[in-house]
Amino acid sequence: MKLLIIAIFLCLPALNAFCQEENVIKFKSEVTLTLSKTKNGRYDYKITEMKEFDKTVEANDMLLFKDKIDTNQIKLFFCTGKFGYQNATLLIVKSGLKVFLNYTAKIKRDGRDYFEITSVEPLIPNVKSLEEWPYNINEIILGDFSVMKN
């Protein structure tokens, strides 16, 4: 029995990574998510476009979102950026949805083989959101998109 428990704990990180591969967003990416509403104010999403984005940006760069974002989409940039005078890992997000959205994020830091939950701010319709980390992150997984209650 002890061996079974140990085997399960040893396999959990691999199972976790296997289950999450579909929606992993790699560092240095420009991504478009298309959301579809489900029951209870939740949204499923799929990555409809992901391309390399190997630029260092300023946190207040308004040109990132010069194109209109569809009302069922979220556009994001997961990249290196300047936050003040420091380089940082940035997640810059803008939602085209007409509702405030909560969501979750899991990050995989440089040198680690597992994802950990990180805090994020809600998305406000057509307003740029910025998340910043002072360390390197290789991948991120977003999920649990839901309408923010009051």
Q: Please tell me the total count of domains within the chain.
A: 1
Q: Which domain holds residue 49?
A: 23-147
Residue 92 lies in a domain: yes
**The token pair that represents 142 in the structure block:** 């977003």
- Give the model confidence (pLDDT) of 8-35 as tens digits: 444 444 444 444 456 899 999 999 999 9
Half-sphere exposure of 65 (CA within 13 A, CB side): 23
- Give the model confidence (pLDDT) of 82-121 as tens digits: 877 888 999 999 999 999 999 999 999 999 999 999 999 9
- Give the model confidence (pLDDT) of 38-84 as tens digits: 988 799 999 999 999 999 998 777 788 888 899 999 999 999 998 77
Residue 6 lies in a domain: no
Residue 89 lies in a domain: yes
Residue 10 lies in a domain: no
Q: How far apart are CA 73 and CA 47, in angstroms?
A: 10
